[in-house]
Amino acid sequence: MTISEDLQGRGLRATPFREELLSLLRAEGLPLSHQEIQGRFREKVDRVTLYRNLELLRTHGLVHQVQGLDGAWRFCAHDVSGPGCPGNHVHLLCVVCGRMECLVDQPLPRVAVHEGFEVEGKQLVVYGCCSGCREKKTSQGEDGTC
């Protein structure tokens, strides 16, 4: 299914900006902040336009968000059958550099829910130290733990 078909299938107009935004998030494969997204566009992007479109894509199930250590929201493409992240997955968050990755093959724990509560999605953030930060600490003569 093309990005245009995904947008139209959710009742959204397939504008060039939305197509490029969704394509960028799918290609990146990891959660990006607003600033990171703006920096990856070929042309200057109006911040308000970016925020509005991310929120629109989120409310229509094409993008999901997760909060980083700095409090900034990061966004991933929600694409169960394609290159983006499925909605129910684990995020790995480095407590040193703040880099966040999607771990899509890791099953989430089962959660008992109260009667009458309808689950729309699950998300888990695991905090730790990425391999790059551990290697950096080791090369600086430290033990490599964060």
State the CATH number of the domain containing residue 37. Answer: 1.10.10.10
| Residue pair 78/61 in contact by the 8 Å Cβ criterion | yes
Query: 72 lies in a domain?
Result: yes
Has 76 been labeled as part of a binding site?
A: no
Query: 145 lies in a domain?
Result: no
Query: 75 lies in a domain?
Result: yes
Query: 118 lies in a domain?
Result: yes
Q: What is the pLDDT of residue 143?
A: 77
Q: What is the dihedral of CA 35, 133, 86, 104, to 10 degrees?
A: 170
Tens-of-pLDDT digits for all 146 residues of the chain?
Answer: 788 988 999 899 999 999 999 999 988 878 899 999 999 987 888 899 999 999 999 999 888 888 888 888 899 887 655 555 656 678 888 999 888 887 767 777 777 778 888 877 777 888 899 999 988 888 887 776 77
pTM of the predicted structure, to 2 decimals: 0.72
* d(C-alpha 64, C-alpha 7), whole Å: 15
Domains: count for the chain: 1
Has 85 been labeled as part of a binding site?
A: no
Has 146 been labeled as part of a binding site?
A: no
Q: What is the pLDDT of residue 54?
A: 96
